[in-house]
Structure 1
């Protein structure tokens, strides 16, 4: 574990002489709960989408547009989030992010009571904006609090808690949303009456009220917790240093931004279309409720992969591990496209294991060697999460050429990740980390 920490800046090592190892461990444990919650809430969408497809009688393009709106929030909210953190501080920003998410969750109950496709889109944008604020702060924090050579291992370890949330969310959604709705328990192809659609829309009220309550409780805990402060003096020094350097001279960042963008297209496309895919008669012929439970295995594979990846990267370079996992992901996606029956379903489930390390590993490789530019580089990488919005492209391919064929897009994404691991991730013009300073009182 890294040593004691009293303050941090996204471009610095931990300050010495302040804080304690115990308080650092408690802080990371609390942050891990944030990773869990935003993973949980994000993956509720995977059961929510087939539900809304049934309620509003949507085609695949309209269904994936819901998720596109979610990820567009990352593009628009990343820079304002960084400005807010600079203005009010790290801890208050976390609390604000959680409150924004809670308000959006409560807004989903309004969308259900109307019911309204448009209000649903707006409220999902609000929730995603709150998650963006958490992401902009928490990912760089975990990446820079310890030695740079173990940054990927450290972030993979904490991201495993994110995967724990993503693993449990499908069970939660399958039971409280799909399992309590006519569309979720009906056989494929059944057409709902208007009264059944209205009743199904109401089934999202209880899950989102529960989520809102948990978010408010977590916001109160974080508001009262003595988290390490961000050092203003360090930030000012880094700001002066930044004027002498350019982000665009760092190959690992320049190719890392599209790597995050493209990876999100792959991950979100698989997760969002999983339930509809395995429900097809020639694949597994399941109800949406049953398929939602199998989705848990996909996210469970991501959790296992991150724990395993964290250990592997203690001995093997992160880029080597990333290359191996991208090859595995490409192979199983090709099987998904050309196989039928259980083989196609299980190959799609298996891609979760290979996707597991991709986001945290690309992120830490992308900011490696940025020195005083780490803050800006991190912001651009978080903004690239907006790539998930292009899942609507896969929806369009599914409508035009078939759902199974649309996963060729995912396979193509895996090839770019392989390119990044083999060449794009190599650092150029690496900068030394600035000296740490005590936090300003």
Structure 2
């Protein structure tokens, strides 16, 4: 699951006497769990809607298209909203908007209209974007600065637990009754999600959170972010990464079902291992990155990803599906590495660069739709060439694209 990057913030003096942040960190952990859970539950909705509405692969991939397109549209506006209303209010509003979107599954189910479901997902995604923009800064300041990275890794790990449990939840409560019900199978789970989100919004509203202010202590003169070569390449790298991660996860259920000749419900349980691999990879990666250069690790993971896809497409049975599932481990630290390498040395231009990198998350919309189109018109082998190309570019970025050669001339 992709996370919107953060800028630099400091804690205001009026909060300086707040010493225990455990309740707030627990709340943020719950927040990230829900973000991961809801985002990856889309992987269950794709095969569900495909069968329930008799859709093509490209039509069913509109679930991801509209959801991740929202990141491209709303990342920068969400930052302005949070700047105006504050971070606590931004989180509360994010939960409420997402709760509203989940509740809209009820009328969509009653009317049995696919595009109403897409509208509901678009509303949920707006809430998710606002949540991430508002919540991320808190993680970095709630405690000693020297442990900020470990706190962020821990909270993102909780998000990975949400991505791992979502396919299991989807198999039990959405795909399980697929043979016996139509779109009604989704409105009860999403009404429950809506209620949970609303309760969390109330809990966050009652919390006493520290006040944050932007840190403008940079001494380096701000320049247009795109005057930096490595940022330009990094934006495309992040676009490719999110596109590959989301497109593989989107069609993994159907790919497994076709490969093993099993039902979508049975196949969907395997997807939990794909997202679980990301959780394990993040834990392992946090240790490996202490001794291995990030660019070198990214290059190795890029090559490994291409090899796994090639292996999957040229084998069959469980070798084929576990090769594809193993991509989750490779994906685990790619986002963090690409982002950190992209903003390295940008100084005062970092905040503006973060906005461009956030919009690149829309790659999840474009690449997944493109892969769905290729599946409809060709076959799985041709369709997986698209994420293969994405990983090839990521490999290039790890080898040469990350190098901070500045193209700006005074």
Q: Same fold (TM over 0.5)?
A: yes
Which of 37, 48, 53 is the equivalent residue of 2:34?
A: 37
Contact 1:70 1:124 in 2 (8 A): yes
Partner in structure 2 of residue 264 of structure 1: 242
Which of 111, 115, 118 is the equivalent residue of 2:115?
A: 118
The alpha carbon displacement at 1:222 in A equals: 1.6
Aligned Cα RMSD in Å?
A: 2.7
The alpha carbon displacement at 1:357 in A equals: 1.0
Partner in structure 2 of residue 405 of structure 1: 382
The alpha carbon displacement at 1:330 in A equals: 1.3
2:43 corresponds to 1:61: no
Which of 307, 315, 325 is the equivalent residue of 2:283?
A: 307
Deviates more, 1:312-321 or 1:292-301: 312-321
The alpha carbon displacement at 1:320 in A equals: 2.2
- Once residues 152 and 251 of structure 2 are traced to their aligned partners in structure 1, the CA distance between those partners, rounded to angstroms, is 27
What are the residue-to-residue correspondences of 1:28-177 with 2, within 5 Å?
Answer: 28-139=25-136, 142=139, 155-177=152-174
What are the residue-to-residue correspondences of 1:416-435 with 2, within 5 Å?
Answer: 416-428=393-405
The alpha carbon displacement at 1:157 in A equals: 3.9
What are the residue-to-residue correspondences of 1:9-20 with 2, within 5 Å?
Answer: 10-12=7-9, 19=16
Which of 180, 199, 203 is the equivalent residue of 1:217?
A: 199
- Once residues 210 and 305 of structure 1 are traced to their aligned partners in structure 2, the CA distance between those partners, rounded to angstroms, is 31
- Once residues 286 and 151 of structure 2 are traced to their aligned partners in structure 1, the CA distance between those partners, rounded to angstroms, is 7
TM-score by length of 1: 0.84
2:223 corresponds to 1:245: yes
- Once residues 213 and 21 of structure 1 are traced to their aligned partners in structure 2, the CA distance between those partners, rounded to angstroms, is 31
- Once residues 63 and 139 of structure 1 are traced to their aligned partners in structure 2, the CA distance between those partners, rounded to angstroms, is 31
Gaps of 5+ in 2: 1-5
Which of 190, 197, 213 is the equivalent residue of 1:208?
A: 190
- Once residues 126 and 265 of structure 1 are traced to their aligned partners in structure 2, the CA distance between those partners, rounded to angstroms, is 21
TM-score by length of 2: 0.90
- Once residues 262 and 357 of structure 2 are traced to their aligned partners in structure 1, the CA distance between those partners, rounded to angstroms, is 37
Identify if the C-alpha distance between structure 1 residues 361 and 244 changes in structure 2 by more than 3 Å, giving closer, same or farther: closer
Deviates more, 1:394-403 or 1:222-231: 222-231
Contact 2:257 2:263 in 1 (8 A): yes
- Once residues 300 and 325 of structure 1 are traced to their aligned partners in structure 2, the CA distance between those partners, rounded to angstroms, is 17
Partner in structure 2 of residue 328 of structure 1: 304
Cα-to-partner distance string for 1:45-68 (whole Å, 9 max, x where unaligned): 111111111111001110112211
Partner in structure 2 of residue 276 of structure 1: 254
Which of 354, 357, 382 is the equivalent residue of 1:381?
A: 357
Which of 222, 226, 229 is the equivalent residue of 2:211?
A: 229
Cα-to-partner distance string for 1:357-384 (whole Å, 9 max, x where unaligned): 1122222332333333222222221111
Contact 1:327 1:418 in 2 (8 A): yes
Gaps of 5+ in 1: 1-8, 183-195, 430-441
